[in-house]
């Protein structure tokens, strides 16, 4: 990790304590549901709350992510189970963590220095071919979605998995286009992370509201089809969008034997140089805890995250300060940009 306890580290901690901090992607609802299945309760309190606080985190965007093995038959049930598990778990931390449904809730979280959870769908596989199910999900508190994960569904073609290097072809289906239009009608934000290149181009040509890449990096810094090209980043920024910095090792392109923080900051600096500091944020996609929740299914003992937990977020701000970036720029990146976006998109 970057050098701790120097002046930049202390300055970064102060910025995290005094300004809103956002992580725009965490598979929290899915992990809570898995842990509930093996008898755990109070998951946020036991596994996340202390690190959220230590990192000064204010807003977490929790995905609803359905594993491929549960599709298609169990997709809708799994999505409902995850939402229910999240809402149930929030009861155990209700004095410190809020469920955010609207602008008023967002402002209350920031004013009271609490932690807020925004809910969205990482892939609309659970709705199958019935886009009108989005009306129901919106009533449950879902505030956005990506059309697909790294797999094909009825709406779009996903990009390859992070461990692969494939240029997946195919654009949006007609149903996918209709779904994007409905999402805009319902004021649900659109996430383009995991969408393939052709689908990205077609989606960006039709949207009218700003979209985001909740957890993607720069392909010019590390070649991975989960990352965005310079042209895609420019187009995203042109629509008022934000790219959330992913902290997964294979997406960052970090050497497992070296400090990953400089490489993560390379991605941030590239976005800043390309489109300015108003279009970069955090969307860490920390996966290790999710995998460890179901070791019999997925976890092979190897860690994939560049951060051990959210407590280490200030390492990034400290490194950016060392590189000469201003406090005002850091405030935008750690949360200000996403706060402004969600103030615009939430009802």
Q: Does 160 score more than 70 pLDDT?
A: yes
Q: Using 50, 70 and 90 to split pLDDT, how confident is the model at 322? A: very high
Distance CA 167, CA 160 (A): 7
The pLDDT of residue 165: 78
Mean pLDDT on 52-76? 95
β-bridge mates for residue 145, sequence order: 121, 190
Task: Tell me if 261 is assigned to some domain.
Answer: yes
Q: Does 40 score more than 50 pLDDT?
A: yes
The pLDDT of residue 2: 45
Q: Does 299 score more than 60 pLDDT?
A: no
Q: What is the CATH number of the domain that holds 34?
A: 3.20.20.140
Mean pLDDT on 186-207? 97
The pLDDT of residue 116: 98
Task: Tell me if 64 is assigned to some domain.
Answer: yes
Task: Tell me if 300 is assigned to some domain.
Answer: yes
The pLDDT of residue 345: 97
Q: What residue numbers bound the domain in which 264 lies?
A: 7-345
Mean pLDDT on 139-154? 96
Q: Does 162 score more than 90 pLDDT?
A: no
The pLDDT of residue 297: 52
Q: Does 294 score more than 80 pLDDT?
A: no
Model pLDDT for residues 74-113, shown as the tens digit of each residue: 999 999 999 999 999 999 999 999 999 999 999 999 999 9
SS3 track for 26-40: ECHHHHHHHHHHCCC
Mean pLDDT for all residues in the chain: 94
How would DSSP label each residue in 117-169? EEEEEESSGGGTT-TTHHHHHHHTTEEEEES-SSS--SS--B---TT------
- pTM for this entry: 0.95
Distance CA 169, CA 186 (A): 29
- Beta strand 59-64 pairing with 142-146: unpaired
Query: Chain centroid to CA 10: how far?
Result: 26
Q: Does 49 score more than 50 pLDDT?
A: yes
Task: Tell me if 1 is assigned to some domain.
Answer: no
Q: Identify the residue with better confidence: 161 or 86.
A: 86
Q: Does 312 score more than 70 pLDDT?
A: yes
Q: Using 50, 70 and 90 to split pLDDT, how confident is the model at 164? A: confident
Report H helices in 191-280.
Answer: 197-206, 230-238, 249-252, 261-275
> Domain total for the chain?
1
Mean pLDDT on 65-72? 92
Q: Identify the residue with better confidence: 23 or 164.
A: 23
Task: Tell me if 201 is assigned to some domain.
Answer: yes
Distance CA 189, CA 327 (A): 28
Task: Tell me if 308 is assigned to some domain.
Answer: yes
Model pLDDT for residues 327-339, shown as the tens digit of each residue: 999 999 999 999 9
Please answer whether residues 256 and 249 qualify as being in contact, where contact means their C-beta atoms are separated by less than 8 angstroms.
yes
The pLDDT of residue 341: 98
- Tokens read off for 316: 């990034």
């Amino acid at each position: 990790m970057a050098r701790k306890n120097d002046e930049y580290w202390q300055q970064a901690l102060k910025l995290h304590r005094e300004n809103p901090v956002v992580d725009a992607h965490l598979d929290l609802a899915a992990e809570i549901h898995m842990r509930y299945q093996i008898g755990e309760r109070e998951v946020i309190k036991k596994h996340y709350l202390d690190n959220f606080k230590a990192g000064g985190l204010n807003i977490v965007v929790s995905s609803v992510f359905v594993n491929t093995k549960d599709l298609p038959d169990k997709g809708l049930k799994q999505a409902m189970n995850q939402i229910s598990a999240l809402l149930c778990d929030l009861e155990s931390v209700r004095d410190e963590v809020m469920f955010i449904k609207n602008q008023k809730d967002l402002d209350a979280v920031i004013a009271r220095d609490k932690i807020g959870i925004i809910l969205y769908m990482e892939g609309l596989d659970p709705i199958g071919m019935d886009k009108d199910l989005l009306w129901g999900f919106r009533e449950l508190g879902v505030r956005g979605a990506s059309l697909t994960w790294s797999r094909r569904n009825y709406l779009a073609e996903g990009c390859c998995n992070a461990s692969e290097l494939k240029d997946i072809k195919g654009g949006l289906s007609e149903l996918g286009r209709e779904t994007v239009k409905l999402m805009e009608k319902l004021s649900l934000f659109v996430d383009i992370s995991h969408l393939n290149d052709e689908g990205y181009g077609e989606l960006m040509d039709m949207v009218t509201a700003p979209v985001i890449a909740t957890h993607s990096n720069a392909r010019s810094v590390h070649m991975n089809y989960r990352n965005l090209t310079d042209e895609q980043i420019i187009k995203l920024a042109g629509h008022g969008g934000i790219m959330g910095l992913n902290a997964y090792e294979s997406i960052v392109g970090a050497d497992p034997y070296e400090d990953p923080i400089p490489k993560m900051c390379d991605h941030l600096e590239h976005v800043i140089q390309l489109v300015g500091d108003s279009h970069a944020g955090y969307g860490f996609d920390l996966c290790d805890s999710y995998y460890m929740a179901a070791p019999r299914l997925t976890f092979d003992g190897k860690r994939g995250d560049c951060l051990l937990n959210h407590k280490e977020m200030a390492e990034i701000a400290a490194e950016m300060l060392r590189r000469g970036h201003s406090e005002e720029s850091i405030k935008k990146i750690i949360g200000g940009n996403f706060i402004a976006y969600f103030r615009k998109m939430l009802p």
